[in-house]
Structure 1
Amino acid sequence: MGPKSRVGSCRAQRASLFNPKDFRFQAVWDVTRRKHERATWGVGVFEVDGDIEDANVTQAHISQLVDQARRLRQVSHCMTVLVVSDDPVFLTAFAEWSIKHYLFAWSTRLLVLTYLPLSSLQGLHKLLSSNNGMLILLKSDISSTRFTTETNIIVAIEVINYHTIYWTEDPKAPGGRRLSLSGALDKTVRYLAQGMNFTYTYVRSKSHTFGSKQRNGSWTGMIGMIVREEADFAPGPFTYSPDRAEVVDYSPAVWTDTLKMASGRQQPEIDPWGFLFPFTSLAWIAVLISLLEIFLVLVGLSWLSDSNCKHQMWENDALNLLRIFLQQEAVVDGRSWWWKRVLVGVWILATLVLTKSYAGNLMSLLAVRHIPQPYQSIWDVLSDPSVVMIWHKDSYYEQYLSTVQTGIFREVLELKEEDRLIFRTQSQFSESLHNLVRPGSHVFFDVGVTVINTVAKEFSKTGRCEYFISEKGYLSTPFAMVTKKNNHLFHGMNDK
C-alpha cells in the first residue's frame, strides 16, 4: 500500500494510531495556525505498509511520503510531526530522507513514539539532535505481552552447579519423557510462562555448553541454538559480550559477579621458620641495633677511661652481651668501671623483657598449626610451573582469553602452549574439582557463584572442607537471559 493522506478529527485520528492491530509505520502531522486565525487547523496522516518485501518499493514510498509532507509544511505556519513506528529500518530510512530533503524547518516540532529499545534507535540521533525533536519510548501493557492462544516455547538450558537437570516421565512428550529443571532459573521460567500465557519445553545443546563464536562465524552451545532458531530463549545466565549482542537480545541484568579461584586446601603443618614470627621484622632490627649500640658505647667508654684498653680482650664485652641475649652464662669482671656494670645491667633487664615476650608469643604460635595457601592470585599461579589452570569451556571467558592481546590474561592464554591451561564444561566441574583440584595439581577459575556452589556440593558429599576460595575477583560482568534477535518475547520478558 503506497502513501496516503487523510484529514479528520484530531482526537479520532490519535485514537486509531494506538490500536495494536493497526500498528504499522505511520507519520502524523498536526497542523496549527496562529491563534487569531480561525478554522485553520487540521491533521494529515501518511502511512507506509511494512509488509512489502521489496526494499526498493519501500524506499520509493518513504520518498513520496517525505515529499508530500514537505509540501504540507511549506503551506503551514506551525507544524507538529508525530512519527509512530516499531520498525528500526523504517525509522532509520525516514530520518535519512528527512535530512536529505530538508523536511523540517526551525519551527517544526518533531515527536517520535516507539516501543523499540534505545539501542535500536541509533539512526535517529542526527535527526533528533539537529531539530526541535523529542523521543518517547513506550512500554507495552502487561496484557499486550500475553499470548492469546496456547503457545509452546522452546527453552535452552544447561547444567549449572546450583541447579539440577533431570528427566521425568511424560506420556505426551516425545519418547515418553521430558527434560526438567529445578532451581531459581526454573522458577523464573515458570513465572514468565504464567505471566505471558505460554507452555515451554526444555532442550539441551549437543555440546552441553553455553556457547562461543567459532572462527567460521558459527556459534556453539545454547547461543548457537538461539541463533539457529532451535530455541526461543535461554535463561542462562549469560555474561554480556559484544559478539553475543550481535546475534541475541539480552534481558536486564540478573546479577553481577566476578571470577574466583578455587585451589586444594593443604594439610595443617608447623612452619619451620615459626621461631621468627613472635617478633616482626622491625622488632628484630630494633633488637640488633640496640645490641650494636650498647657494644659501641662500652668500647668507646673503655678507650676514654683506659689508654691501655687496646691491649685488653674487648671482644669479651661483645660476647657477654650476646650471651645475655641468648640467656647463657656471662661473666662480668667485678673490677670493671661502674658505668660498665650499669650498661650491662640495663641490657640484662631489657633482654629479660624481650625473652619473656618472645617465649609467650612463640608458645601461642606453636599451639596453632599453619595451613599454607600458596595461590592467592593469578600471579601466584603463573609463577608456579607445576600447577594447571581449569577454565569454563565454550564460554565468554574462553572467548575473551582467545582475543585478549596484552596484560595478565594474555599470559594465562600462553599457558596453553605449556599444557598448563585446560577447559571443562559445567557438567565436568565437580569431577575436575574432586580429582584434579583437591590433590593440588590444578586450580579452578570460574564465576564466583559457580565456584562457591561447586565447593559447597563437594562439602555436602564428603563432609570435609578441602578447598580454598580466593578473596580477590577478576573481570566483573553482569549476567542476563537471552532471546532471539528482535524476538517478540523480548519486550514481554523485560516487562515481567
Structure 2
Amino acid sequence: MTETAQTIRKDILAHKVTFSGSFNQDSQGFVKILVRTVDTDVVVLAVSTVQELGHVELWAAFGTGKDFRYISAHEISVALGPRKSRSLPIFHALTGCDTVSHFAQDVSELLEQRSVGVFEVGVDSQDANVTQAQLSRMVKQARRLRQISWCVTVVLVSDDPTFLATFADSSLKGRLLQWSTRLIIVTRLALQQLRPLMSTKYTFANMSVAVVAPSESNNIFGYHVYAHLPFEPHGAEVLQVASWTRHGGLRFTSDYPLFPEKYDNFHGARVRVAATTYKPLWMERHEITPDGQVVIHRSGMDYLLFEAVAEAMNFTFDVMPIKLWKEGLDLTSQRKALAVPVYHTFLYHVFEDMDFTVGYTYGFYCFAMAKPKLVTNWLNLYNPLTGGVWIMRIVVQFEEARSLSGVDCANTVFVLLLDQCVLETLPRQDSPRTLILTWMVVTFILGAGYRGSLIASLTLPKYPPRVETIEDLVNTVDKMTVMPWGTYFVEDFRQSGSPLFKRVADLMAPGLDTVEGLRQTLYKNQAHMEVIHTMQQDIADLFTRADGTTSVYIAREKLLPGLSGWPIPHDAPYRPQLDRHITSVIMAGLYDKWHEDILVLARRQSQARRRKAELRGEVVEDQDDSDSSNTLRPLTLSQLLAPIVLFTVGMTVSVLLFLVELQLPNTF
C-alpha cells in the first residue's frame, strides 16, 4: 500500500472524530442540519453517524455546478438499517472506494447502475440445502457483477464458521473471485476459529483475502486484519497485517499491505505438476545407478521453460506421473497440480474445465505423409522432350525432304535423325545438300539437348506432386491416424461449419502414436496428424537417412493454427507471475533456440546411427530407403523400363521379320 493511500485512510478517520463531535455539541435544539461538502468521504460519515443524533434530519449539499444536489443522509441511513450504516466507514477505509452510489438487491439493477450490490443469505431456522441453493444463486449473481466491473471488492459478513466454509466452496466452484478481486471478510469469530478456515479453504488461503475480526484485547475496542500467506520462509502462516481502532485509525503491524502479494516468491517451496514424455517438449530418460536407484533426467523445450520460471519464482517441483494427458488435465482442474507444463492448444471445450497461461507459441496441428516415389513408366525415354517437339521434328523433316529430293533425301534425313552412318551418295543438287547440312546441325543440337534432358531425368527424376493442402488430403488418402487424444479434434471438426473439416473428421482414426503412424504412411495410403514440434522431432530422430534426407514430409497447410499455453486451474491466482516470466523467456528467443538445438542434435544422432548400420550391413526397418539420394546408386527399373520396352519390341519385330523371310521363296 502506498503512503498516499495510507494518508487518505487516516484523514478519513480523522474526519470521523471531528464530524461526530461537532454534531454532538451543535445539534442540541436543532431538527435539521445542512452540511456543505464536495467530498464523498463526508457523505459516508454522515450516513453512518446520523442515527446517533436522534430525531434529526441531516442533509448534505454535495457537488458543484450542474452536478450539485442535496443528499438526505438520514433517509439513506434508515433504508440501510443501523448495522449497515455503522459498517460503512470501515468498508470505506479498507477499499478506498470514493463512490457508494447505490445499494441494490436485484442483479438487473446492478447491471444498470454498475455500483454496489448487497446480497443476504439467511441461515437461521433454515434447511442447509436451501441455504446452499441460495448461496449458489447469490454467488452467480455476484459473479455477473464482477464480470462487468473492472475493479471489484467483495465484502462478506458472517459469524458462522459453517457458512464461511460453504461460501469458500461455493465461490470457488462458481468462479466468483480472481486475483484482482479483493475479498474482505468481516466477522466476530476468534482467531483460533479463523485459522483452520484460512489455512484449509483454497479461497481464503490463496486468493486476495483480508479477514477483519475484533481485537482480543479487553482494554481497546478495535479490529485486527489478518491474511494467509501460503509461501513463507518457514511455511504457510496466518499473519496480522494491520489493526483498526476508532480513535487510532488504521495502523499497519507488519511490512505487508492489507492484501499481500503471495506468489512473487515461493521461498523454495515444493509444488506438484503433472507431465509425461512428449518429445520435444518434455523428455524423460531413466538411468539406473550402480546402487540400483532410478534417476530421471529431463529435458525438452517446455521443461527448460518451466525450469526457468521455477527459478524466477523460487520454487522446486515434483512431477506427478501420468500415462495420459487427460489425467494431467484432471489433476490440474482439481487443483492438485500447479499446472501442466507442456503446452496444449486453446480449445473451447477445455476452457470449461480450466484456464491457460499466456499463449506463447503456435503448436500447429499438421499432417505428414510419405514422400511420393517414382512411378514405373515406359514413356521415360520419351519424356525428356515434349510430344510437340517430336511431332514437329518428324513432320518438318519429311515434308521438306520430299519437296526437295524425294524419298532418297527423306531416308538420308531419317538416318541422320537416328544418328546412323550415311553410306549412300549424297545428292548433287544444292538445295538437298543445304537441307541435309542444316538438318545435320539441327540433329546435333536436338540430340545434345535430348541427351542432356535424359541424363537430368535420370539423375534428378521428376516425382509425382505432393499432397500439400487439406483439400488434397481428403481427396487422396484413405485414412488419417492420430494420437488417442485426437478424439477431441474429431468432435470439434464434426461440429465445424466447414464441409471440408467434416470430411477430415471422417478420415481421422485416433489410437496410434506418432512413430507408428508415420511408419504406416510409408506403405499405406494414409497420413498422420500431430503437433508440428513433435512431428519434426520424430522425423528428425527416426526418419532421417544417413545423407540427411527424410522419407516423410510435413504438408505446408496446417489443420489448426494452434495458439497454445500451459493448462492451469480456473482463476489461478499465480497466473500473472507465470505469464510475466514465460513472456520474458519467449521475448529473449530462448524457446526457439532450445527447439533448434534439440532438432539439430536429433538429426545428427539419427545420421550417425544410419551410418553405423550401413557399415555393419544392417537394415533399418524404420523407413523406406528406396528413394535415398546416395552418391552411388544403380539405375532402377522405373528409369530403365523404356529402353527395355523398346529393346523387347525391336527384338520381337526382328524375329517376326526373320521368320517371314524364311517362308518367302529365294528370289536372289
TM-score range relative to shorter protein: 0.5 to 0.7
- Please identify, of 252-261 and 266-275, the stretch whose mean Cα deviation from structure 2 is larger: 266-275
Deviations 1:305-352 (A, max 9, x none): xxxxxxx9x677766655543335679996786445433432332122
From the superposition, tell whether residues 382 and 316 of structure 1 become closer, same or farther in structure 2 (CA, over 3 Å). Answer: farther
Residue 148 (structure 2) aligned to one of 115, 123, 126: 123
What CA distance in whole angstroms lies between the structure 1 residues aligned with 2:360 and 2:327? Answer: 21
From the superposition, tell whether residues 184 and 275 of structure 1 become closer, same or farther in structure 2 (CA, over 3 Å). Answer: same
Aligned to 1:389: 480
Aligned to 1:249: 355
From the superposition, tell whether residues 42 and 377 of structure 1 become closer, same or farther in structure 2 (CA, over 3 Å). Answer: closer
- Kept in 1: contact 2:357–2:565 (CA 8 A): yes
What CA distance in whole angstroms lies between the structure 1 residues aligned with 2:10 and 2:376? Answer: 82
Please state whether the residue corresponding to 1:234 is helix, strand or coil: coil
What is the aligned residue count?
A: 371
- Kept in 2: contact 1:179–1:202 (CA 8 A): no
Please state whether the residue corresponding to 1:494 is helix, strand or coil: helix
What CA distance in whole angstroms lies between the structure 1 residues aligned with 2:307 and 2:42? Answer: 43
Residue 456 (structure 1) aligned to one of 540, 544, 568: 540
Residue 406 (structure 1) aligned to one of 490, 498, 501: 498
What CA distance in whole angstroms lies between the structure 2 residues aligned with 1:145 and 1:193? Answer: 11
Say yes or no: does 1:44 pair with 2:41.
yes
Say yes or no: does 1:188 pair with 2:305.
yes
The TM-score with structure 1 as length reference comes to 0.57
Deviations 1:399-436 (A, max 9, x none): 43332343433322223xxxxx42236xx3334444x3
The TM-score with structure 2 as length reference comes to 0.44
Aligned to 2:113: 97
Where is the strand percentage greater, Structure 1 or Structure 2?
Answer: 1
Matching of residues 61-210 of structure 1 within 5 Å: 77=67, 94=110, 96-98=112-114, 123=148, 144-146=262-264, 152-162=270-280, 163-165=282-284, 181-205=298-322, 208-209=324-325
Say yes or no: does 1:225 pair with 2:310.
no
Q: Report how far residue 355 of structure 1 moved.
A: 0.3
Q: Report how far residue 376 of structure 1 moved.
A: 4.9
Q: Report how far residue 275 of structure 1 moved.
A: 2.7
What CA distance in whole angstroms lies between the structure 1 residues aligned with 2:272 and 2:524? Answer: 42
- Kept in 2: contact 1:153–1:198 (CA 8 A): yes
Please state whether the residue corresponding to 1:241 is helix, strand or coil: coil
What CA distance in whole angstroms lies between the structure 1 residues aligned with 2:496 and 2:369? Answer: 25
Select the structure of larger CA radius of gyration: 2
Deviations 1:215-269 (A, max 9, x none): xxxxx44333333434332122111223223432222222224334333457889
Aligned to 2:509: 422
What CA distance in whole angstroms lies between the structure 1 residues aligned with 2:307 and 2:108? Answer: 37
From the superposition, tell whether residues 356 and 192 of structure 1 become closer, same or farther in structure 2 (CA, over 3 Å). Answer: closer
What CA distance in whole angstroms lies between the structure 2 residues aligned with 1:291 and 1:40? Answer: 108
From the superposition, tell whether residues 168 and 294 of structure 1 become closer, same or farther in structure 2 (CA, over 3 Å). Answer: closer
Please state whether the residue corresponding to 2:568 is helix, strand or coil: strand
Please state whether the residue corresponding to 1:243 is helix, strand or coil: coil
Deviations 1:110-161 (A, max 9, x none): xxxxxxxxxx987359xxxxxxxxxxx99x9996533567755331213212
Equivalent AA in structure 2 for residue 412 of structure 1: V
What CA distance in whole angstroms lies between the structure 2 residues aligned with 1:469 and 1:16? Answer: 71
From the superposition, tell whether residues 142 and 453 of structure 1 become closer, same or farther in structure 2 (CA, over 3 Å). Answer: farther
What CA distance in whole angstroms lies between the structure 2 residues aligned with 1:264 and 1:370? Answer: 16
Q: Report how far residue 289 of structure 1 moved.
A: 3.3
- Kept in 1: contact 2:368–2:527 (CA 8 A): yes
From the superposition, tell whether residues 276 and 160 of structure 1 become closer, same or farther in structure 2 (CA, over 3 Å). Answer: farther
From the superposition, tell whether residues 462 and 294 of structure 1 become closer, same or farther in structure 2 (CA, over 3 Å). Answer: closer
Aligned to 1:481: 566
What CA distance in whole angstroms lies between the structure 2 residues aligned with 1:293 and 1:367? Answer: 32
Please state whether the residue corresponding to 2:392 is helix, strand or coil: helix
Q: Report how far residue 488 of structure 1 moved.
A: 0.7
Aligned to 1:129: none
What CA distance in whole angstroms lies between the structure 2 residues aligned with 1:321 and 1:45? Answer: 115
- Please identify, of 258-267 and 235-244, the stretch whose mean Cα deviation from structure 2 is larger: 258-267
- Kept in 2: contact 1:251–1:494 (CA 8 A): yes
- In structure 1, the gaps of 5 or more residues are 1-8, 18-38, 48-69, 85-89, 102-119, 126-136, 170-175, 210-219, 303-311, 416-420
Q: Report how far residue 353 of structure 1 moved.
A: 0.8
Percent identity, please: 14
- Kept in 2: contact 1:263–1:437 (CA 8 A): yes
- Kept in 2: contact 1:389–1:444 (CA 8 A): yes
Larger RCO (CA within 8 A; separation ≥ 6): 1
Q: Report how far residue 454 of structure 1 moved.
A: 0.9
Please state whether the residue corresponding to 1:202 is helix, strand or coil: strand
What CA distance in whole angstroms lies between the structure 1 residues aligned with 2:260 and 2:565? Answer: 21
